[in-house]
Amino acid sequence: MIVEIPGVFSPQESKVRVERLRAAQWIDGKATAGAQSQRVKHNRQLGGDDPLAREIGDEIIDRLAKDAVFMSAALPKRIYPPLFNSYGIGESFGFHIDNAVRGIRASRERVRTDLSATLFLADPASYDGGELVIRDTYGEQRVKLPAGHIILYPGSSVHKVEPVTRGERIASFFWIESLVREDAQRALLLDMDVAIQRLTMQNASDESLVQLTGCYHNLLRMWADC
Ligand code: NI
């Protein structure tokens, strides 16, 4: 399941953050790549302990915690502290798959990467190329979002970032361990939740809503791994 969530930051909020990020201390992206991805990864990143990365990363998590669609789609159990990457002209990240489990720096905590997330920060009009290409069962999805929008996709997907041919693509990326490990189960729960919300707005009968809401929670109880 691929889910786009708009407005984590407004265009203006994204712009201010991109300007601060541009002036930050960027390092070679290979530092956090596994053996296979190192060969195809050509970009720059902020260090995980960079104070600006932590500051904006915390803002992202705060915004997402208040976002009903994010909470319903991801059912988050643990969120990896957001990282930041930059692709300049000629930089790209070829097809790869993200590591299944990632240790959080300076802690013993680990996150199983059930979902991958990319928050687009740079204005898409300011760069060419840089599309995130995700292979899923329906083929390849090409994703390039307005500044401040986030895309969630299964951590199990093979994906790449196309070469940037003009400007600079700055984004945040991270992973979420979900209460519900299976993508298909999360997709079903999200569909059901959206339908329940819609029925509530249409003043459907209380009895049916109670029954459906009960089904949602009983499925979540059956599948949640707390
Ligand atoms: Ni990746």
Structure confidence at residue 204 (pLDDT):
80
Is 96 labelled as part of a ligand binding site? yes
Global pTM?
0.95
Structure tokens at 138: 């329906």
The arithmetic mean of pLDDT across residues 185-200, rounded, is 96
Is 159 labelled as part of a ligand binding site? yes
Structure confidence at residue 212 (pLDDT):
95
- pLDDT of 136 strictly over 90: no
**Contact (CB, 8 A) for 188 and 219:** yes
The arithmetic mean of pLDDT across residues 170-183, rounded, is 98
The arithmetic mean of pLDDT across residues 66-74, rounded, is 97
Distance of CA 68 from the midpoint of ligand 1 (Å): 25
For the chain, what is the mean pLDDT? 95
Structure tokens at 159: 């994906």
Q: How many CB atoms lie within 10 A of CB 74?
A: 24
Nearest partner of 78 among 225, 180, 176, 185, judged by Cα: 176
Distance of CA 202 from the midpoint of ligand 1 (Å): 40
Distance of CA 203 from the midpoint of ligand 1 (Å): 43
Structure confidence at residue 158 (pLDDT):
97
Structure confidence at residue 48 (pLDDT):
86
Q: How long, in residues, is the chain?
A: 226
- For 1-59, the pLDDT digits (tens) are 999 999 999 999 999 999 999 999 999 998 878 888 888 999 999 998 899 999 999 99
Structure tokens at 140: 């390849």
- For 83-103, the pLDDT digits (tens) are 999 999 999 999 999 999 999
Distance of CA 32 from the midpoint of ligand 1 (Å): 11
Structure confidence at residue 35 (pLDDT):
81
For 108, the 3-state DSSP assignment is coil
Structure tokens at 155: 């951590």
The arithmetic mean of pLDDT across residues 124-128, rounded, is 98
